Amino acid sequence: MKEKLITEINKIRNAPSLLSWDEASIKAGVVQQLLSIIGWDPFDVNEVKPEYAVESRRVDFSLRIYGMNKVFIEVKRPNENLELHQRQLLEYSFIEGVKLAILTNGITWWFYLPKGDGNWEQRRFFTVNLSEQEPTSTAEMFTNLLSKENVASGDAIKRAEHLHEKSQRTKHIKEALPKAWYKIINDPDDLLVELLIETTANLSGFRPEISDIEEFLQKGRYDIIPKAGALTPPVSQKPTPPLRQSISGPAKDDYINKKVKSFTLLGKTYYPHSWKELLVTVSEEMYSRHAADFDRCLALRGSSMAYFSLNSDELKQPAQISDSRYFVETKLNSNSIVRRSRELISFFGHKETDLNVTAA
């Protein structure tokens, strides 16, 4: 079957006048030819029903198994705008309870799960283009999704749903990756900062300050990669503009290289001597108010490090919270301390804006 299908696909690809064919020619010369190779009998109207009536309208082909509609195929002329016919086909399919539908102009084949979520475009899970895609993979997809054997067994639907899930997963990942990168660069996890500090020290012999690392990330110089064996990027290469200029995002306070003067928490003002004291004070205030459910703080973690723990050995610079069994990590830069403090109070139902910090 596969070799015969590949041969037929190549024949269609190389047809010199294909683009000038009318709809009837596409039905007979492309659609029915391919269906016959993958197990369907195009001359048996109980199997391949042409002009199937759906209320007062008709769909070009209904592929049927034991009298049940399984696949609807709507055919248009080459170069016709298929987007104009999506809604019609999917409405036909939805009315009849058909789970798999195809819209084609003979060259482009759009595969749909009509009963899926989302708009018409989002229900399209796969595209086959006979002119552009490699014939072997195209033949495999036709067999997987449209052969009589797979449609009858239900495997076609299972594979279609898997492809749809995969395409949605890919879409969501692509949408989330820039946001994740923005968050990492503009709000770096403390583990990332510490890793860059240690690696820079190992390479250069000098240990950078936290402010050096954050400035490096914020200025977008992370994309300057030195040549093999080099310890520093080429001097002639200019740093790229800061990432925050190219990706929209909320402005955030920057406390690097600043001293804390005071902070107000839930209407009460404190005057800590250090950023560490700010974090410990906020933690102790939350413990005094929410001792019964303070275990919530244990969920506040970075990608590979804890910010609160019952085990002081798990933290690099632990500070005990009042006389409780809880410890807080204090080896953090000033920005991280403010972020962790605001996250902590939000864990207990307070607004992040309930903590206001003044620094200079």
* pLDDT of 34 strictly over 60: yes
Decide if domain 260-359 falls under CATH 1.20.1380.10: yes
Question: Which value, in Å, is the radius of gyration of the alpha carbons in the chain?
Answer: 31
Among residues 299, 288, 277, which one has the least CA distance to residue 344?
Answer: 299
Among residues 221, 178, 180, 177, which one has the least CA distance to residue 200?
Answer: 221
pLDDT score, position 278? 97
pLDDT band of 194, cuts 50, 70, 90:
confident
Among residues 349, 339, 356, 338, which one has the least CA distance to residue 290?
Answer: 349
User: Which tokens go with 314?
Assistant: 């798990």
Report the distance separating Cα 86 and Cα 102, nearest Å.
Answer: 9
- Average pLDDT value over all residues in the chain: 84
Of 190 and 7, which is predicted with more confidence?
A: 7
- Which residue is associated with the tokens 């639907």? 157
pLDDT digits (tens, 9 = 90+) for 139-172: 999 999 999 999 999 999 999 988 888 877 777 7
pLDDT score, position 218? 67
149 neighbors 39 (Cβ within 8 angstroms) = yes
- Which residue is associated with the tokens 């492809």? 163
47 neighbors 152 (Cβ within 8 angstroms) = no
Q: What is the pTM for the complete model shown? A: 0.52
* pLDDT of 50 strictly over 90: yes
pLDDT score, position 221? 52
List the chain domain ranges. 2-164, 190-246, 260-359
Q: Which helix (H) or strand (E) holds 151?
A: helix 148-153
pLDDT score, position 239? 41
pLDDT band of 280, cuts 50, 70, 90:
very high
pLDDT score, position 166? 82
- Which residue is associated with the tokens 């910010």? 307
351 neighbors 267 (Cβ within 8 angstroms) = no
pLDDT score, position 252? 54
* pLDDT of 11 strictly over 80: yes
* H helix and E strand count, the chain: 13, 12
pLDDT band of 304, cuts 50, 70, 90:
low
Minimum mean pLDDT range among 175-189, 190-204, 328-342: 175-189
Of 255 and 26, which is predicted with more confidence?
A: 26
CATH of domain 2-164: 3.90.1570.30
